[in-house]
Structure formats: structure tokens, C-alpha cells
Structure 1
Amino acid sequence: MAHREAADEAGEGRDRSGPRVTALGGGHGLYASLSALRRLTPDIDAVVTVADDGGSSGRLRQQFGVLPPGDLRMALSALCDDSEWGHLWQRAMQHRFEGLPEGPQELHGHAMGNLIILALWQMLEDPIEGLEWAGRLLKVHGRVLPMALDPLVITGRAMYPNGTSRSIAGQARLAKAPRVEDVSLLPEAPRPCPESVESIRSAEWVILGPGSWFTSVVPHLLVPANREALLASQARICVTMNLGLEQHETAGLGAAGHLETLERYAPGLRVDVVIADPEAIDCHAEFEAAAARYGARVHWRPVRAEGSADVHDPELLAAAYREVMCGPAAGPHVEPPEPSV
């Protein structure tokens, strides 16, 4: 069965009652974005990073030579049906096995959803079809697609406060490093996922962020086919800023530096709107000026979950997306002004 036909049958046809959105990211950041977007539209494609090499995903990747399933599992869980069935399977997919300290540890720490995805991949010998069948089980609203068809390794240079630097390979290690620069992927030109490329090209809105900037967001700009699709797409582009801007890999980068980083890895990238929590960014005028250089406007809105320093509230973030996609920012892209001579 063709992939698109399987996806349509699983959802009894794609519901076109909302904007067609493609969200790029990985991990908890993409989970937050999808949890918000599903309140706005059922027509969502999640394009997910495949460079995780830690925890359960890293073990399965190393043992079976598959794409790391963890971030894909997180995205599927975020899009579960809002029903008793969906809620149960969401919990089941996220469940982690805990073995007795004195017993065998083969399953300890593995997420059940990772093992389900692995089983489907081995049975069907097709990662896209396997994810579609996992989506059927969870009755997800939308699709979950890998960023590429090859497991990727992220490399970068960590800049230490004492002025020294060193190269680091691996998503898990890089995510905990201090200020990161010069990020790249191995292989440099991985096999693209045709469904992901087409999703980016045909979207009405593309969402970048939130998430670990150099290990979940920027990698999407490093896959040549995806970057070219993003630059050629007629979709409006929304960047969702993180709430904690000075953590680990982005220490010292600054809010404006986050936007500059995107343009550095995808020259010519246009951005239409940036969603930012006013409490997360110190100098609003400077940040608005940085966004304007890409033709974007800043949509200021509180999106922080109560009692949390850096977690987005899905209802508040959904309201921000609704305002952006249905309000004035949903209009045509505005080209950045010509530089003054």
C-alpha cells in the first residue's frame, strides 16, 4: 500500500478544516509544539530529527542499526487521539521499563514505544510504513516523518569559558556542552525522506522551534534536500523561541543570535513571524530589529507553563499559533528592507 494511501486510510482521509502545518524539530521542544498545534488543526506533519544517540534510542540504534526511535515516539505521543484509547496508548508509548536491581537489565530504561516502533520497522522493513502503522495504533492526528532515512551524527565545537574549545560528536554529548558553534552532520548528505521534503514544499505554515537549538532545530537546515525545500517553499515560516535561551549549547548566544544562527546555516531563509514570550527576552527593541532583518514581525505572548522555567504551556502556545495563523501575521511575507548605504 502506498504511504500516502495508508496515511489517509488511517485517518479516514486528511481533515482539511485547518491550516496545513509542517513542524520541524525533535524531543521535548517538538512535543510542546505539536501538543499546541493539534488544538488548532488536524492537518499536521511532524518532521523529526534522527540524530539521538543517548538512552534507549542510542542503545537500539547501536544494536539494530535503525533510526533512533525516541524523538519519533515523542512526536507520535503528542498527536495521540484525545480519547480514552488515545490517552492510554500515549501513556503506554511513553512508559519506561524498570528492572529489578539484581535482575537482567536488557529492558531497563527502554521506552515501550521505542520497542513497538522497532518491531514494526523489522516486520515491515520500511521506516515510513512502520511509523504510519504506529500512528494507526495511536489514532494520531497528522503524520510523523523522519528528517532523513539515515541515522545521523551531529558534530560541533564546544566553546569553554576559559577560551578553549574542542570538537564533540554525538547529540547527547553536544546537547550538554557549553556554547556550541560550527555544527555539521555525518553523513553530510543523508538520504532524504521524500515524504518530508514534499511536506515542507506543500505546507501552508512551517514551524521551526522550540527545542535544543543546535541539536534539534538547526539540524533540519543541514539536510540538503530539506533545506532546499524550505528555501523554495511558499509556506509562511514561524520561528517559536525557547523560554530558556542561555542553557548549555546556546549559552551566550542571545535571543538575536538564535535568529542569526538560522540564517547562517540556511542563507536566504525568510521568516514571517517569531513567537516569543516577553519575559524570556531582555531587550525587546533589539530583538524586533533582528527579526525585521528577515522580514519577520515578533508576536509577543506569554506561553510559559505555570511553575516552570522553560516549558511551554500547550494551551497558551496554541493561542499564540492561532493568533499568528489567523490574524494579521497570516498575510503575505514581507521582504526585509534593503540595507542602508
Structure 2
Amino acid sequence: MGKNNDRNKVNYWYKWLSPGIFVKRWLITSLFGVLLTLLGLAIWVKLTPINRLIDFLIDLLNRITDVIPSYISGPLAFFIGVFLLYWGQTRTFGSITDVLQPENEQKLIDALWNRRQLTKGTKIVALGGGTGLSTLLRGIKKYSANITAVVTVADDGGSSGILRRELGVLPPGDIRNCIAALANEETLLTELFQYRFREGEGLKNHSFGNLFLTAMTDITHDLEKGIYASAKVLAITGRVLPATLDSVTLWAKYDDGSVVHGESQIPEKRQKIVDFGCLPESPKAVPSVLKAIQQAEYIILGPGSLYTSVIPNLLVPEIRDAIARSSAPKIYVCNIMTQPGETDGYTVADHIRAIDAVCGVKLFDAVLVQGRSPSPQALRIYANEYSHPVFLDREEVKKMGRRIVMGNVMSENPDNFCIRHDSTLLSKALIRWYNNNPKHRFWGEKLGF
């Protein structure tokens, strides 16, 4: 136990003196400041030449050693000085920690260390929407602060749809979820941002975050500025950007020749989608999104509903062109289960074909696939809803020139057997693949087993 405590103390001081924390330079600067202050004071009170001050100090030390031998007074003064320095610095940093983190047991140096490491993290661009993208962000923010979440703005259902129809604003729901995912989940502000009104005429089912984003957009006259202001309130890691500022309406054509308009209506048809697009046909991309993609070191698409969360971002021509030009590693996170009304009977290769059909080029060079099957109980429950695990047709995917990255990235609720991507497992798999030089790795790399 004592050895562990000693090791922790050594590690504690090592962090303070380690490169990249920007502490040593300021300690040395402070030391020089003390020396110059003493020198200036000596000159000011006319203790010149400086030899007089030195002679005074020598005389004082001689008097002390006459009373207390040097082999006692020297070490005593040294250790008292070190103790006062240690005590003063500890109390100083403790006071700062109490002010900055009154309810957090994390030490100040650990917070500084983590922050510095995150700011040096990989420049990641993640594209998607719905709950899938927010799940990814909740895990990936632990590895980098240089995250740009590009969010679809085609939602026309629920609270977002009402605000879009009544106020003419772009739907804020998916943006709100991503902002909350990148914030500190335990803060009261984040809970407030996600709070949904349960009663009240005109307020029922609206989330506070949606109303807040709508108000900020109206005040700043710009959704991007409204998102930035909202993100500052929650002190998020990274940033959230809409794919476009145009009011986009999705449409889908089915194998029976019918066409349906509206994101919320597309899954209701329950027919095979043969064509997909949006109005206007070529929405303009937000310039900040294009810049982020250009500077990206890692690009992730998904997870999320294929046609209503993932592909809508790629319907913006400038975005898909920017991704195609990027030399960064690019990976698509495939869904674990098929989605009734969108991807009934789809395999992994079918998901990729749908993306390729929209983009016209091979946009992503790898696909992350869940490797472990859900429990029999979950399979039965999902089968009743006409949903099944997405089958990995390995040979078809290989023919399409994609690497297959298999990993256990699934979370299954033991109470209701709800299947979702696990934010921690998913982010670990994605970061591990990136760190293993993904563009030169072999087929079928396995993660998490």
C-alpha cells in the first residue's frame, strides 16, 4: 500500500514537470522574477554595489553558524525551505482546484494533463445524425478534443418537425443530441438541455434544447452561430456543424414506382427503396464543414439510419467531393440490425452499395461490423418487429474493395434486450483501427475479441 502511495506521488510530480503541460517554463519564469525583484529592491534601497548585500548575507550566515553548527543549520534551513515551498504550492493548487472543480475529485494536474492530451488528439470528422452519431461522439471525445460532428438537418418529425413547420427554422433535434453528447453528461446544464416538457399547451413534447437552439438561431440570425453559442454554454469537447443551411426535404422512390417526401414518412412505406435524393437537389455545404474535412486526419460515417441519418449528409455534393479528395483514413460504421422500412433484408454489402449509389465513387475504404450475435431473446423480440442482424456477406464486401473491421461494439439492455452501439466499445475499436495504419492492414482485422 505504501509503495503504491509513493508511486502515485512520484507520478503526480512527474505530470507537473512533464512536457506539454506548460508548467516548468512558468515556474522558472517565476524564479527569475523573484531574483530580479530582490535585485531591484537591493538597488532601490541603495545597497550598491551589490557586494554590500553579499557581504551582509555572508556576515549573517557566519553569525548563524557561530550559534548553530553548519552541519545542523544548513540541512535545517534547506528542509524548512523545501517544506514551505511544497506546502505553499500544494495549498495554491488546492485552492485553484476548489474554485474550478468544487464538486470534482479529480486533481487539477490530472484535469490539465487530460486536457492537453486531448487538444493534441487526432482531427476527427464524424458524419451522421439521430442517436447513432451522438452515441459515437460520447465515446470518441475521450480520445480527442479535435472533433467536428457534421449533422444532417433533414428531420421533419417530432419537436424538430413542429419548429421547422411553424417557425421555418432548420430542425435542431439531432444537433441538440450531439451537443449534449460532447458535453459533460453529469452537469445540470446538460440535463436541462435534454429536458423534454411533459405538459403544457404548445410546450408538450418539446425539448428545452430545441427551443434554446431555435431562440439562439433567431437572435444570431444564423444556425451555425446559434450552435456555437449553445456549445459555449455547455463547454463541449469539439464542435457541431450542420451539413447545410438549406432547408432540405428528403424523398425516396420505391420498387412499386411510388415516391414519398419527408424524412419521417420514408420508413412508413415499408417498400424497397430504389432511388433516393433531396430537394433542393444540390444543397450548399457549410464552409466550416468543408474546411474541417480538408484538415481531417480521420473520417467516420455513421452509425445511424442509413437513408434518414447517414446518407443525407452525402446528398450535399460539396461534402462528398471533399471526402473523396481527402487522403485521411475513412470508415463506415454499419448498423447492427436492419431497420424496418429502410433496410429490410439488407446485408453489409447492400449498405455500402446504397452509399456508393448516392456518391458515385468509392468514398470509404473500410467498414466496421459487429462480430458477435445478439442474445436469442433479443433476436426473437426484434424478429417480431421484422428486424434482423445485418448479415456480413464477406466475399461481396471484399469484391467492392472494402476492408472488413470486425469488433464487439454492441450494447444489449438486459431488461428490454434493446440493441445499440456501445459508445465505449465503438470508440475503442475505431481508434485502434486508426492507430494500426488502417490503409495498409489486411482483410478481416478483428478487434475486441
TM-score normalized with structure 1 length? 0.85
Q: Distance in 2 between matches of 1:14 and 1:120?
A: 32
Counterparts of 1:69-148 in structure 2, within 5 Å, are 69-81=172-184, 84=186, 87-99=187-199, 104-148=200-244
Check conservation: 1:47, 1:146, Cα contact below 8 A: yes
Structure 2: gaps (5+ residues):
1-114, 374-388, 443-449
- Looking at structure 1, the residues matched to 296 and 366 of structure 2 have their Cα atoms a distance apart, in angstroms, of 16
Give the superposition deviation at 1:282: 6.8
Corresponding position: 1:319 with 2:428: yes
**Cα distance in 1, alignment partners of residues 165 and 234 from structure 2:** 27
What is the alpha-carbon distance in structure 1 between the residues aligned to residue 268 and residue 300 of structure 2? 24
What secondary structure sits across from 1:305 in the alignment? strand
Residues of 2 paired with 1:155 and 1:68: CA distance?
Answer: 17
Match of 1:196 in 2: 289
How far the C-alpha of 1:46 sits from its partner, in A, is 0.5
Q: Percent identity?
A: 33
Q: Give the 3 Å change call, closer, same or farther, for CA 273–16 of structure 1 in structure 2.
A: farther
Q: Does 1:68 align with 2:171?
A: yes
* Contact 2:299–2:331, Cα closer than 8 Å, also in 1: yes
Q: Shift of residue 192 of structure 1?
A: 1.8
1:259 aligns with 2:368: no
Q: Give the Cα separation in 1 of the matches to 2:118 and 2:408.
A: 29
CA distance in 1, matches of 2:412, 2:201: 37
SS in 2 for 1:106: coil
How big is the shift at 1:81?
2.8
2:161 to 35, 53, 58: 58
Q: Distance in 2 between matches of 1:265 and 1:240?
A: 17
Partner amino acid for 1:302?
N
Structure with larger RCO (C-alpha < 8 A, sep 6+): 1
Q: Which has the higher helix share?
A: 2
Change (3 A) 1:282 1:195: closer
Partner of 2:180, secondary structure, is: helix
Partner of 1:8: none
The match for 1:227 is: 320
Structure 1 letter corresponding to 2:433: V
**How far has the Cα of 1:291 moved from its partner?**
3.2
Higher mean displacement: 300-309 or 42-51: 300-309
Distance 1:298 1:309 in 2: 25
| Contact 2:149–2:239 (CA under 8 A) maintained in structure 1 | yes
Counterparts of residues 151-162 of structure 1 (less than 5 Å): 151-159=247-255
Which runs of structure 1 show a deviation greater than 3 angstroms over 4 or more consecutive aligned residues?
A: 12-16, 279-284, 331-334
Unpaired stretches in structure 1, ≥5 consecutive residues: 1-11, 335-341
- 1:332 offset after TM fit, Å? 5.3
Q: Pick one of 411, 415, 419 that aligns with 1:305.
A: 411
**C-alpha separation between the residues in 2 aligned to 1:333 and 1:268?**
22
| TM-score, length basis structure 2 | 0.65
Higher-Rg structure is: 2
Which residue pairs with 1:149 in the alignment?
A: 245
Please name the residue that 2:145 is paired with.
Answer: 42
In 2, the alpha carbon distance for the partners of 1:13 and 1:303 equals 28
- Aligned CA distance change for structure 1 residues 48 and 276 (closer, same or farther; 3 Å): same
C-alpha displacement at 1:48, in angstroms?
0.3
Paired residues of 1:259 and 1:290 also in contact (CA < 8 A): no
Partner deviation per Cα, 1:22-47 (whole Å, 9 max, x = no partner): 11000111111111211221111000
